Amino acid sequence: MKNTTLCYICRPGTGGEEYLMLYRNKKENDLNEGKWVGVGGKFEAGESPEECLYREVQEETGLTITRHSLRGIVTFVSDVWGTEYMFLYTAAARGTLIDCPEGELRWVPRQEVLSLPLWEGDQIFLSLIATSHPFFSLKLAYRGNTLIQAVLDGQEMQLT
């Protein structure tokens, strides 16, 4: 099992209406290749979720988090990648964007995010964030690249 963070940074001055998105197209053997995601990554030894969050955001974007909110914990189960626990955040940050070693960074209007090439499960938790859903636990089970189960706060969700 691995522990990770993922963060959707809100662009200053937009009232949270734009997220910093990362198009994964630079890293070799990237399971997220061709997808748009937030920024984040794997915990290093001894890190708390917040320490991982701050480090990953700094490394991938050059930005410094000024305020953050833990929105939920997502459990990924996969027949290919194993199990992952992801701490999901939204945040405000300051600084100047750098060239990300993992892909292209772009500020995207929140209403356009769901039309990007995303993992099917990401659409679920992005919708929860957009509706200001309270803190949640979400289990997403994949067979290969196909979402086969979603369980929100212990209740199975209907997949479309």
The helix/strand/coil state of 61 is helix
Predicted confidence at residue 135, as pLDDT, reads 96
Residue 49: which domain range? Answer: 2-74+82-137
DSSP symbols for 68-137 = EEEEEEEEEEETTT--EEEEEEEEEEES-----TTEEEEEEEHHHHTTSS--HHHHHHHHHHHTT--SEE
Q: Structurally, how many domains does the chain consist of?
A: 1
Say what the pTM is.
0.93
Predicted confidence at residue 60, as pLDDT, reads 95
Predicted confidence at residue 81, as pLDDT, reads 87
Predicted confidence at residue 34, as pLDDT, reads 83
Whichever domain contains 30, its CATH number is 3.90.79.10
Report if residue 34 sits inside a domain. yes
Report if residue 158 sits inside a domain. no
Predicted confidence at residue 30, as pLDDT, reads 66
Mean pLDDT by 10-residue block, N- to C-terminus, for the chain (160 residues)? 95 85 83 88 96 97 97 96 95 95 94 94 94 93 95 93
